[in-house]
Amino acid sequence: MDLVFQYIQLGITSVFEGPEGGLTLLPVFMVLIGVLTGVLIGAIPGMSGPFAMAIALPILVSIFGYGNDALYPVLGCLLGIMKGATVGGAVPAILFRTPGTPDAFLTTLDGYPMAAKGHARKAIQTAHFSSVLGDNFSDLALFIAAPAIALTVERILGLPEKSALIILSLCFMAAVVGKAPLKGLLGGLLGMFVSLIGSAMSGNGPRLTMGMPELGNGLPLTSAVLGVLVISEVLVSMEDIRNNCDDASSSDGKRPEMGPRLTWVERTAMLPGILRGASIGTLIGSLPGIGTTTAATLSYDSAKRASKTPEAFGTGVPAGVVATESANSAVSGANLIPVMSLGIPGNSAAVFIILAVETIGDFAFGPQVFQFTPIREIEGFDTILNAGLVTAFGIFTMMMIANFWNWTFGAMLMGVLGHLAKIPKSVMLPVILMVSLTAAYTQDGGYLGLLTASVFALIGYVLRRLDVSILPFVIGFLLAPTLEVLVRGAFTASGGDPFFLLKSPIALVMLALSVFLLGRMVVQARKT
């Protein structure tokens, strides 16, 4: 136990320690920048946390570089954006009934009526209070669950089990995301396939490059993800605005009456509701692929069922705002559980956290991070410890710092946000497009990056228009290289046994589960 505290202490100090050992506040400052950006971005309709993270990542990397010293500032800023955005989305939802982020949609149900009744300030403060508290709750779950899962997993998983685990998570994701699991899974396979373009492992030169030597190292990762997640969404929104000739954000946004503040008595009364919402959000968030919207919906329904006056929901009761905001914010921390313990991203925000870690420095997510190597100091030499574990606790520390900023500056900023909703989306989107393309060019090898982003944007556009969910495609794209190494390694290590994945009972169970999920999808596809 002593060792655990030693590592936690080292992790906390590592955030404040500069490269030369002196005190640095850079990571703390970058977290603040991130939180403020996140709150602002969250409040702009059409923008969301992952959007801002996608655009910020290449810019941050250009500023701080790829060295180990860059990890904390860059990751701190991204974590700040992620957390800030969950808070900011509620403001326009409450004031103008236009949710800033998709997951704030349900907040309009009770938040807007509250504002209409002249309790806008109360509604915003309720949203802030339950959102930040829910977020903190799920962070706590992350801090406990991630090391525990990692330790268990590392002890029992070899190459075949690790392969089976990735297959299972992909199947699970395809099954739960969107209404069309078969196509989701096909998208996942396609994503995996395109990630194989380029480098090969057996030294016979690059594969599937269609004669382009530039592709020899594979498609540039950040550009591809930027294209399929962000630019495609921009294109779809632009087309919708063009066709509907309306601009949702420029609606008759008259600022409603702010009204009185939220009292501490009222806050205390909210605690049970927040706890329920946060628990639901955390549970949902820890499973890959199920998003914030599902969490908010479930939480809202359960709050309604538990309420003595369910008919009041939707007419402007604080309990409704509490239910949705605590749940959708609790998703963000819990989403990092599979990321930090297994290296498997579960939603788009997590995708960018993983991308940042992969791009910068030596640190990488995975079960190996949580090995509690005894700390030994050798005279005249160096200290022996697991540096990855220190970094992990450093990341936890930055999340706590982000929470602190969310409590303080986040609350202040939310109060003055109302005006932001007036930036028209039709101008915002082209600007996002330009910034994304520039970022793709500067970070990922010139026109190769830009073209990759464009092609992936087209793929994403078609998938979105066909109502196929994008997430399996992205996750497949990110995980396939790891999976290939694992599968090839497991196959070779088994001495060429064609049933190499079925030899271990754990892998067998996971694969059986995958098959079960597949079967369920098929049945579902035939029924609907």
Question: Of residues 299-328, which lie at the interface with other proteins (CB under 8 A)?
Answer: none
Nearest-angstrom CA–CA distance, 430 and 503: 53
Residue 101 is which amino acid?
Answer: T
| Residue from 217, 263, 315, 408 binding other proteins (CB under 8 A) | 217
Phi-psi region at 158: left, alpha or beta (left = phi > 0; alpha = psi -120 to 50):
beta
Taking CB under 8 A as the criterion, the residue among 21, 213, 380, 505 binding other proteins is 213
Site stretch for other proteins (CB under 8 A), options 38-46, 272-280, 291-299, 466-474: 466-474
DSSP 304-369: HHH-S-GGGTTSS-HHHHHHHHHHHHHHHHHTHHHHHHHS---SHHHHHHHHHHHHSSS---SGGG
Using rule CB under 8 A, residue 73 touches other proteins: no
Contact yes or no for 185/514 (Cβ under 8 A): no
Q: Is 226 in the site for other proteins (CB under 8 A)?
A: no
Residues 317, 318, 321, 323, CA torsion sign: negative
Q: CB of residue 31 vs other proteins: minimum separation in angstroms?
A: 21
Specify the 3-state DSSP secondary structure of 396.
Answer: helix
Q: Is 516 in the site for other proteins (CB under 8 A)?
A: no
Pairing label, strands 376-377, 383-384: antiparallel
User: Which one of 205, 260, 272, 314 is in contact with other proteins (CB under 8 A)?
Assistant: 205
Q: Per rule CB under 8 A, is residue 497 in the interface with other proteins? A: no
Asked if 251 interacts with other proteins (CB under 8 A), we say no
Tell me if 450 contacts other proteins by CB under 8 A: yes
- Shortest distance in whole angstroms from residue 398 CB to other proteins: 20
* Piece of the chain touching other proteins by CB under 8 A; list 21-29, 108-116, 135-143, 241-249: 241-249
Return the number of other C-beta atoms located less than 10 Å from residue 143's C-beta: 20
- Residue numbers 260-299 binding other proteins by CB under 8 A: none
Compare residues 208 and 412 and give the one whose CB is closer to other proteins: 208
Q: Which stretch binds other proteins (CB under 8 A): 98-106, 305-313, 341-349, 462-470?
A: 462-470
Backbone φ and ψ of 346, nearest 5°: -110, -20
Chain residues 133-152 in contact with other proteins, contact rule CB under 8 A: none
The answer to the question of residue 519 lying near other proteins (CB under 8 A) is no
Which one of 72-80, 260-268, 314-322, 479-487 is the stretch in contact with other proteins (CB under 8 A)? 479-487
Q: How many residues does the chain have?
A: 528
CA dist 132 and 126 (Å) reads: 10
Q: Count of residues binding other proteins (CB under 8 A)?
A: 102
Distance CA 32, CA 409 (A): 8
Whether 172 and 288 have beta carbons less than 8 Å apart is answered as: yes
Q: Looking at beta carbons only, is 192 or 331 nearer to other proteins?
A: 192
Window contacting other proteins (CB under 8 A); options: 77-85, 305-313, 316-324, 481-489 = 481-489
Tokens 């009770």 -> residue: 110
Smallest gap, in angstroms, from Cβ of residue 120 to other proteins? Answer: 29
Does position 199 interact with other proteins (CB under 8 A)? The reply is yes
CB of 229 to other proteins, least distance (A): 17
- Is the Cβ–Cβ distance between 521 and 173 less than 8 Å? no
